[in-house]
Chain A
Amino acid sequence: MKTAALTFLALGLIIAGAIWWSHAATLPGPVVAAETELVKTQTCAECHPGVVEDFATAPHARTLHRVAGSEWLDRFAGRSVELEGRRFRFESIGDELWFAADDVPFAIEVDWIFGSGQHALTPVSIDPDLDGRPNLTQLHVSWFRDGSIGRTPGSDRIADGPPTLGLHHDAAETERCFGCHASWLPQPEGRMELEHAVINLDCSRCHPGAARHAASDGELALGVDWDQLSPLESINRCGECHRRVDEFTPDELTPAHTHLVRFAPVGLALSPCFKVANDPEQGEGFPRFDCLSCHDPHLPTRTAPEYFNAQCRQCHGDVSPAAILDRVASDSAAAHARPLASQRAAPCSAEPLDSSCIECHMPKSQIVPGLSFTDHWIRVRE
């Protein structure tokens, strides 16, 4: 009897253990969905006040907006535009913004606005699918930096087929859209829940492990050490949202595909500058070249061309001995990082050295009227 009782008890423990163990863990999901990865920016400010203060002004910190009570309402409310014979209009009712078209019998509410306004603001509407997951409709009309409203990139052939108000995205695509514009997207039971999302990028979005780093008073290192990434790894990290070159087919990576200008890491990865500068053999002596060479993501985007031209001249500068000596004398710290041998990239054969490099080699390219991007595919153009 004793054996039976012990056996029964042990079996109960086994079953209880199996039940407990089977619910013990879940598959690791995206960092953006993990609350454990979330860190309050003010926590980072305790040790990094300067960076945090700067970042508040950066575009990444204001890349997604709830419409209700948004400062951006007046960019849209009461405005209309005609595209391909179809007239679209925005109307505000209280603090709600609605979007309609003359040939569509219904209007949909604008729920979110994507973008920092640096280039554009694109309104979207959310409605649930049959499983209750949010599906996004990217509206056909966006606001652009020059103050105009016009066709949203991707909304081609608006007049073809039955009239629509925007491009519909399923749940997976919706998650991807929000994933690049938010720091935390709660997903209870695998379903994205936008009401409690932490919108815009904060420290943890690009510095995974920031929560543990902050909680340990800096003892635990961040999950990603950007200094230790190779240039390609570095631009591919930015490429998680700004797209990566290895996620395109070779057929798509041609200048004819003008939409590539939207994806800076893609263009940069195709640039001879990037390839040579970061090549293990050919690149010896060249400074590291990646997104961070010209952009500080914690700061507002620079706009002065001369700043960028100066970056170009680090490699494509004057190669005369006097110029080299002058440079060494005036910038000894930089000289350590830039051996004399680096001054061997070809200077421009068409224009003088003090001309604007980017005007020819990184021109702005218009995607749709009102919206232009700098083409990061640095190359000699025909």
Chain B
Amino acid sequence: MLFQDANRIEPEARADGSKDAKIQARRLVVRHPVSYPMAQPQRSAKARRSAPARASASDLGSAANTTPSKTQRRLDLLGLVLALSVAAVAALQPICSEDLWWQLSRGRQVLLGSVQPSADLLTLETAREADWLGGVPGYLLYAALGAGGLMVARLAIVTFLAWRWIAAGRFEALLTGGLALLAISPALSPLPGGFDVIAIVLLMAWSSRARSLIAEQRSDRQELAAAQPLLRRHLAWLGLLFFAWGNLGGGIGLGAGLLLVTATTATLLRQSLTFRFGSLALLVAGVAGSLNPRGLGAWSDSVRLLFPAATVSPAVLEQTPWAPLPSAAWGFPSLALLILTLLWLARCVGAARLGSIPLGAVSGERRTRAVQFLFVQGLAWFSAANVPLAIAWLASDLVDRWRIASEHHDGKSSQGAGVALATAAALILAMFFSGRLDSLGWGIDARLDPRLLEIALAETRPAGTAFADDVRSGGMLAWTLPPVSDRPGLRLQDVPSRALIGGRLAEHQHLLVDLRTGRQTRYWRQDRSPGGFWLALQLRNTSLLCISSDRFELVRALEPTIWKPLSLDSPVIPYARAGDAAYADQLLAVLRYRQLVNLDPWTYVVPPSSGSEFDRDLFGLRETAVGESLLVRQARTFRAMELHYAALRVLFVGRQRWPQSGAIEAEIRHCQEELAHQERRVAGQASWLRDWAAQSSDIEQLEPRDPPRLGRPSALLAAATKPAEPPEVDADEQETEAKRTLLSQLRVYWADGPAAALQAAGEQAHRSAAPPPAAAVSPHPQLAYAWVCWAIESGQHEFAQELGRSLTARPLPPNLRILVQYRMEDAEQ
């Protein structure tokens, strides 16, 4: 066991008394962190030095004294199980990085011979980029092994981080590392974001080692001279790290910032050795980080990415990945950041229960770490995109402290059962709360499935340029299109990350706002810039828009414009201008699909699990490939496109599958609200069906009211100018009975959908063989109208027409007559 290895060495070193041996011993302890089982008490170096004779007296005796107890073995096992569980849960997550396809496209372009892949892929980009190789590893893995290759890389990254964080030998480290792994799990891919995390961890390890080296040399100048080759080698490793980091990721500014903090605090504290070494390190990092096509510009690019607040206003950053944390969407990663921050602060205070020790032998170490802590906190709070990096730093720093505590404490560590159980409870809660257990799987997340986009563009002849709302849309399009070459074809305009670096993000966001708010024609903004998306898109020679289907408002805003969708169900919806010959065939096809899903006899089927790389289920064990959230997203997309019946069809199928889903129920009510609003607008008053269905799915709580009216009834308006007449008598026995009947049928509608409701209506109306249409002659008009609606919703158009004709043949309230006319138009399409 590794722990015993260190113990065996120490007595030899002590016997020898030479400092070299002690250095060798300490190196072993540092390089081989104690892994589980680890609950054996560790004696401090002082204690070990003070009792060398005892240690060498009797190996048998020593061996007998170090045999772990049964409780300790159980704790060790618990720790091992927790560690493996957390690592497995963190690792077995489908690749969900939003920039996956963008990075793979860049990698593909590089392997075709490009040294400026972004400039080749984007029409608005002209500059070279530092992290030009960032997409190459991912592309090579995907090209060779598919999504499995990406997942294997992911497993390797998680294993590395687990080894660095979790295997430090303490439950506190397990908690810290486990939380961190779960929080930053989405970022742990062979992409620039993942490389940044790895680089931070490596830099922290390098710094820890450097601190040890400097501490050892501090007191003896002769030894300092002797250690120069070691220090130079150490600096060479740093150079290699920054060289790789600069070409693969965009976070080198963070690394340089941490080194700068070290050098600066050393200056202030007059630690000349640390200052000299730190300055050299900074210089090496600066040079190595500039060895890429972007050169020195790599540093300004990194600062723009890490600290966008320096160049962009918060209003521009809103709803982007770089939004300041207070205004960003909070989730488990943000919560984990807070928890780790509190842990770090508690550690800093040096609570006895956490085993605080003077940090290293270098005075001012605590201050250096404090400043570094504030530095990464500032980066995270001013840009939510830095949260994974901040978590990586916090975890590495905390684990480093736990590791040092393990080396120096003598049986005073809090490794008892209480801590172990608390850690286990916290990690289990974290696994549930983070949602990682629900998203376990293999492959690539369904939100990143480009196949439907490929199908949508297969029959088109795209040319010109394409606007994409975010990096997911843009990346998917870039991947779908053929690699850029000398042949002219459709090219992507920009992606937000390059726009941020190039100073174009404000323009991008303005255009998105104009699209979302429907501001088509030219107007002038307060800052004197021109707005209006018509001309902006025209000036860019835009022939295609790629919009994420999650952007509900944007999809809805495009509905009345000349931009028409080329797909109804792709995670990224391409839009082309109506009348554009290059997309005409697909535009016509989609028009037919709209008819099909909304009005024709069409039933939504939840896609079964097929083991493809996009449905998370490697072995096809799950029942369905699509989860509840994806189903709701599809329904929302249909609703945004004013395809309410299609949305309801999807939702009622989902309701069968997930009957307790609050999200599905809420979405059904939204559809009903909008249908009721439509009815009210066109006829002055909604029908009973829509008004009540919009109120609530709980029939018991539903108020069977007379729906509110728009404006005033014409009759009453005319009456207002004449002498007052006695009020009309409404609501008689028949109406009350009709309301009761409709309520009962509405219960079936909510539970099982329109076809079942129609069936129940038929059974209720006559327990005989008489067909339902005959019964439509006599029932209350509101009831019959509900049947018409249900017939249309379930695609039974002939039946709907029959019902409608029989309805219009009898006296109807004026608003119902208009509504029936509207529904007959739907049924006749």
Query: Could you list which residues of chain A lie within 8 angstroms of chain B, going by C-beta atoms?
Result: 1, 3-4, 6-8, 10-11, 14-15, 17-19, 21-32, 34, 36-37, 91, 93, 98, 100-102, 104-109, 125, 127, 129-130, 161-164, 168, 170-173, 175-176, 179, 190, 208, 223-224, 236, 239-240, 243-244, 246-247, 251
Contact = CB atoms under 8 A, between A and B. Distances in A.
Given A4-B349, A14-B377, 16 more contacts: A3-B348, A4-B370, A11-B377, A18-B326, A23-B314, A24-B313, A28-B525, A28-B527, A32-B523, A106-B683, A106-B711, A106-B815, A125-B711, A161-B825, A170-B560, A173-B560
A129 B674 CA distance: 9
Interface stretch (B102-110, B230-238, B420-428, B510-518): B510-518
B215 interface: no
B325 interface: yes
Contact of B513 (A22, A27, A93, A129): A27
Given A27-B513, A93-B721, A236-B522, A18 B325 contact: yes
The interface centre, meaning the residue of B315, B510, B711 with most chain A CB atoms within 10 A of its CB, is: B711
B345 interface: yes
A26 B316 CA distance: 8
A36 B817 CA distance: 50
Contacts of A223: 528
A32 B350 CA distance: 58
A208 B524 contact: yes
Contact of B348 (A7, A24, A101): A7
Contacts of A14: 374, 377-378, 381
A4 B309 CA distance: 27
Nearest to A130: B677
A130 B674 contact: yes
Contacts of B377: 11, 14-15
Given A11-B341, A243-B521, A21 B382 contact: yes
Interface in B373-424: 373-374, 377-378, 381-382
Contact of B315 (A3, A8, A25, A101): A25
Contacts, number: 191
Contact of A108 (B673, B677, B711, B715): B711
B519 interface: yes
A162 B525 contact: no
Interface of B: 309, 313-316, 318, 323-327, 341, 345, 348-350, 366-367, 370, 373-374, 377-378, 381-382, 509-510, 513, 517-529, 531-532, 534-535, 538, 557, 560, 579, 673-674, 677, 681-685, 709-715, 717-718, 720-721, 813-815, 817-818, 821-822, 825
A176 B815 contact: no
21 contacts: A3-B370, A4-B349, A7-B348, A11-B377, A14-B377, A15-B326, A18-B326, A18-B381, A22-B325, A27-B513, A28-B529, A93-B720, A98-B711, A102-B714, A105-B683, A105-B715, A125-B711, A170-B518, A172-B557, A240-B522, A247-B535
Contact of A239 (B324, B522, B685): B522
A243 B327 CA distance: 38
A106 B510 CA distance: 41
Nearest to A98: B717
A24 B314 contact: yes
Nearest to A208: B524
B682 A162 contact: yes
A27 B535 contact: no
B681 A104 contact: no
A22 B525 contact: no
A154 to B, nearest CB: 14
Contact of A176 (B521, B526, B817): B521
Contacts of A163: 818
A23 B327 contact: yes
A179 B525 contact: no
A179 B518 CA distance: 13
Nearest to A37: B526
Given A4-B350, A19-B326, A168-B681, A29 B315 contact: no
A146 B309 CA distance: 60
B192 to A, nearest CB: 24
Contacts of A125: 711
Nearest to B375: A14
Nearest to B512: A27
Nearest to B314: A22
B526 A162 contact: no
A93 B316 CA distance: 49
B714 A3 contact: no
Given A24-B314, A93-B720, A106 B326 contact: no
Nearest to B819: A162
Nearest to B720: A93
B538 A246 contact: yes
Nearest to A15: B381
A172 B315 contact: no
A162 B382 CA distance: 55
B814 A36 contact: no
Given A14-B377, A172-B557, A246-B538, A1 B818 contact: no
Contact of A18 (B382, B560, B709): B382
Nearest to A128: B677
Contacts of A101: 714
Return the 7 tightest CB-CB contacts between A and B, nearest first. Answer: A172-B518, A105-B814, A106-B684, A22-B324, A18-B381, A108-B711, A28-B526
A12 to B, nearest CB: 10
A105 B818 contact: yes
Contacts of B815: 105-106
Nearest to A31: B524
Contacts of A236: 522
Contacts of B345: 4, 7-8, 11
Contacts of B712: 98, 106-107, 109
A4 B348 contact: yes
Nearest to B816: A105
B518 A173 contact: yes
Nearest to A100: B714
Contacts of B327: 22-23
Contacts of A170: 518, 560
A108 to B, nearest CB: 4
A7 to B, nearest CB: 4
A162 B825 contact: yes
A2 to B, nearest CB: 10
B677 to A, nearest CB: 5
A240 B709 contact: no
Nearest to B348: A4
B524 A91 contact: no
A356 B579 CA distance: 42
Given A172-B517, A173-B518, A106 B315 contact: no
Contacts of A37: 526
B523 A240 contact: yes
A49 to B, nearest CB: 27
A91 B718 CA distance: 8
